[in-house]
Amino acid sequence: MPPFIERIVNHRLRALVRKEFGQIRRDRRLALSLVLPPTLQLLLLGFALSASVSNVKLGAVDDSRTPESRDLIAALSESKSFRLVGYYASVNNLGDAIRQGKIDAGVVIPYDYDRNLQRGRSTTVQFLLNAMNANTAVISQNYAEGVVHSYNSGLKNQGLHASFERIASPLVSSQGQVQLLSAFLYNPGLNDSWFIVTGVLGLLLILNSSLVAAGAMVREREAGTIEQLLMSPASASEIIVAKIAPLFALLFTMSLLAVGIMKVAFHVPFHGKLSLVLCGAALCILSGIGLGTVNATFSRTAQQAQLMAFFINPPLSALSGALNPVEAMPEWMQPLTVLNPIHHFAAIGRSSLLKGSGITDLWPNFVGLLIFTLVLVSLSVWRFRKQLS
């Protein structure tokens, strides 16, 4: 071992680290709580938090009662987006069903629907949506518009409301046409779970490491073992490093299991280097442990530490961009995400795994994570030393 490392990792520090690992080995519940629950949370949240909407309960008012109107209702109900619940006699009954929560959407087909189609006229179909959840309403509207667009294409193929118009040649030569051709890069299948699980991993790393570190420190002080350690030749910095080491090892094991779940359960592609993601996870864990240790130095009991965590963790989650895009936030709030370690890890995980980005593209996020880690760990050592003195 080189001399400078020998001076840092001396025999006192090694003895303290062995003592902490032995203490965790005797407390198997703590080891299991650090590894299993976060990986299960990633698995559950990856499936539960989805931006896609399916099986929206649909009601119908069919005043036309023709094969064409039944075809339109069938086109809506046969898609995976909507599930036909039943027919209603009037619009008022349909509105009451939406108000009572029996259905989430309703389609109203006018009595002259079939006649207008046969005569080549445009016809209007009313689509009612429960907009109490605005996101679900907008997505359902887009789904309905897509189904109607496909239905209209089928009508044209059947020869309904087809018309021909003769255009003068000067008009043809003077007017152009714009066509839009979309290409989905890095996620051709539009799998929204890829975006969610890469952000949830950073969220779990920070939240679990901060909560566990704060709880461990407070319990040590309540049990009086910190005072016993102060009687040893070890310094306050060595005591804190020894406390951090086993927590870091277990949480890093959890991150390895979580990465495996992302690959096996959600089929997240690994286009970039896995080492970059693991380095970001290590810095994210150290930032969370430093945050939890600072929290513990301001708390006298475990209840106080948990109460302070309620004021810290929700803003970190909301301003991270882990569960929702940063662009969806208000413009004045978007710069605040730069001060969030979860945001930097989410950028590292998504860019490396999905886009194959390297260190030349991700170095600003690594620098941000490194600054957070150094500041929080240094602040925790300073606060711990000041509190003991």
Task: Work out the average pLDDT over 184-203.
Answer: 83
The mean pLDDT value for 85-100 works out to: 89
* DSSP label of 118: H
pLDDT on residue 161: 45
Boundaries of domain holding 330 = 3-49+190-388
- N- to C-terminal Cα distance for the chain? 33
- Residue 370 has a pLDDT of 93
- The whole-number average pLDDT for the span 349-355 is 90
pLDDT at 162 exceeding the cut of 50: no
> What is the DSSP code (8-state) at residue 176?
-
Residue 159 is assigned to a structural domain of this protein: no
pLDDT tens across 137-152, in order? 888 888 888 888 888 7
Give the pLDDT of residue 281.
Answer: 93
- Residue 4: the pLDDT is 39
Percent of the chain with pLDDT over 90: 13
Return the closest-CA partner of residue 87 out of 101, 115, 110, 106: 106
Q: Are residues 215 and 110 in the same domain?
A: no
Q: Can you tell me the mean pLDDT for 112-126?
A: 83
Q: Say yes or no: 36 and 60 in one domain.
A: no
Do 261 and 358 lie in one domain? The reply is yes
Same domain, 241 and 287: yes
Distances (CA, A) of 54 to 51, 79, 82, 144, 368: 10, 9, 6, 12, 39
Predicted pLDDT at 371: 93
149 domain-assigned: yes
User: What is the chain's mean pLDDT, rounded?
Assistant: 80
Separation CA 112–CA 175 (nearest Å): 36
> What does the pLDDT look like over 16-36, one tens digit per residue?
777 767 766 766 776 677 777
Residues 147, 271, single domain; the answer is: no
Sheet bearing 56-62, strands edge to edge: 82-87, 56-62, 105-109, 126-129
Q: Which one of 138, 154, 170 terminates a domain? A: 154
| Separation between Cα atoms, residue 155 and residue 24, nearest integer Å | 69
205 in Cβ contact with 281 (< 8 Å): yes
Q: What is the pLDDT of residue 61?
A: 92
> Does 172 map to a domain?
no
Question: Count of CB atoms within 10 A of residue 144's CB?
Answer: 21
In-domain check, residue 160: no
pLDDT for 163: 35
Phi, psi at 271, each rounded to 5°: -75, -30
User: Which CATH number belongs to the domain containing residue 123 in this structure?
Assistant: 3.40.1710.10
Q: 150 and 44 in one domain?
A: no
Asked if the model's pLDDT at residue 188 lies above 60, the reply is: yes
The answer to whether position 182 is within a domain reads no
- List, in order, residues 6 or more apart from 282 with CB less than 8 Å away: 248, 252, 255
Torsion of CA 256, 259, 265, 268, to 10 degrees: -160
| pLDDT at res. 359 | 92
Query: For residue 47, is pLDDT > 90?
Result: no
Rounded to whole angstroms, the Cα distance separating 46 from 38 reads 12
The residue out of 154, 181, 210 marking a domain boundary is 154
pLDDT value of position 319: 85
Query: Into how many domains does the chain fold?
Result: 2
In this structure, are 41 and 70 located in the same domain?
no
User: Does the residue 290 lie in any domain?
Assistant: yes
The span from the CA of 29 to the CA of 294, in Å, is: 24
CA atoms within 13 A on the CB side of 273: 10
**112 lies in the same domain as 11:** no
Report which residue type is found at 94.
Answer: L
Same domain, 79 and 31: no
Whether 379 has a pLDDT exceeding 80, the answer reads: yes
Residue 243 has pLDDT above 50, yes or no: yes
Place 179 in a pLDDT band, splitting at 50, 70 and 90. low
Are residues 278 and 370 located together in one domain of the fold? yes
Evaluate whether 202 touches 345 at the Cβ level (below 8 Å): yes
Would residue 170 count as lying in a domain?
no
**In this predicted structure, what is the pLDDT of residue 234?**
63
Per-residue model confidence (pLDDT) at position 231: 64
Q: Is residue 9 part of a domain?
A: yes
> How far is 366 from 372, CA to CA, in rounded Å?
10
CB 53 within 8 A of CB 140: yes
Q: Are residues 337 and 377 in the same domain?
A: yes
Query: Which residue type occupies 96?
Result: D
pLDDT of residue 365: 92
* 15 and 110 inside one domain: no
Q: In the chain, what percentage of residues exceed pLDDT 70?
A: 81
67-79 per-position pLDDT tens digit? 888 888 888 888 7
